[in-house]
Amino acid sequence: MTPTNPFPVVIVTGLSGSGKSTALRVFEDLGFFCIDGLPCEMSPKLADLILKFDTKYRGLALGMDLRQFEFVNGWDEALQGFADLGILPQVVYLEAKMGELVRRYATTRRPHPLESRNLGLEQALEMERELLEPVRLAAALVIDTTHYSIHDLRRVIQTKWSAIEEAGKGMRVHIITFGFKYGVPSEADLVFDLRFLPNPYFDENLRPLSGLDKAISDYVLDNPVGEGFMQHLLDFLTYTLPLYADEGRYRITLALGCTGGRHRSVSVAESVLASLKKKGYTATIEHRHMELG
């Protein structure tokens, strides 16, 4: 059955300690009916039941993770159950770096679902990451919460979800700009190092500006190196993105980096964003380190 439901169904999942409870509260504030801890096999039946009645809610958000021991084994069956009902759930997957997850667990003093006498916290977290990789690949949105406060995470989810919801379904491309001196985004599928492009940082008049300013964009892109690279990059994306879609990928995250994440990466990313939107892709952008560079 072809998914046709206008009532969005969102599955919020990811690594334990990555902020799923906060994410569910965000969807609740957005007008979603939210349920946490639902067994995987029950989720399609519940969604179908809610969809049969007129509802004042904007959508349905389900929190699912390894607290339900059959979650991984039942994942494919649950997706098929949704498909049989004509429902295409959108998966929001949260994760964070190991050190931050350990710190959060030390703060809350709660045990990890996989932790046992023979399995320490770090081992449990690594096992969970491996078990959930198929779920991560099916996600419409992946968010690394390592450096986010609760308020940051709330803002990011609201912004990204609104962009996805407004743009409709299909292959989604999320573009992240970053500075190498601050670290490469862990959620990136493809990483491009732009430190070979002309650098406005060494021009004192341009240094205070960012890649959002036309003067910076012209400096970075309006030259043989910039023009040539952009043409090759867009040709590469035009060729590869349909291939990813054919393999069943819902989402691709591109990370574009320069030294500080303020000038070159931002200029290139904004140009890529505009080009992808013209080609009909659902594309969103996040300038992660622009204010730090």
Q: How far is CA 71 from CA 40, 51, 132, in A?
A: 5, 23, 9
Q: Which residues contact 51 (CB under 8 A, 6 or more apart)?
A: 5, 7, 60, 85, 87
Element (H, E) at 71: helix 71-84
Is 21 annotated in a binding site? The answer is yes
Structural contact between residues 7 and 55, judged by C-beta atoms closer than 8 angstroms: yes
Is 66 annotated in a binding site? The answer is yes
Distance CA 155, CA 176 (A): 16
Alpha helices in 147-263 (DSSP H): 150-167, 214-221, 224-246
Structural contact between residues 230 and 256, judged by C-beta atoms closer than 8 angstroms: no
**Six-digit token string for 241:** 């993105």
Is 18 annotated in a binding site? The answer is yes
Chain-centre distance for alpha carbon 43: 22
Q: Which residues of 48-67 are buried (b: 16+ CB within 10 A; e: fewer)?
A: bebbeeeeeeebbbbbbbbe
In 3D, which of 189, 120, 159, 154 has the Cα closest to residue 287?
159
**Amino acid at position 100, single letter:** E
Is 16 annotated in a binding site? The answer is yes
Per DSSP, 122 falls in state: H
Is 17 annotated in a binding site? The answer is yes
- Strands 141-144 and 32-36, by their bridges, are unpaired
Is 67 annotated in a binding site? The answer is yes
Distance CA 265, CA 128 (A): 33
Is 19 annotated in a binding site? The answer is yes
Q: Which residues are annotated as a binding site?
A: 14-21, 65-68
Q: Which residues are annotated as a binding site for ATP?
A: 14-21
Q: Which residues are annotated as a binding site for GTP?
A: 65-68
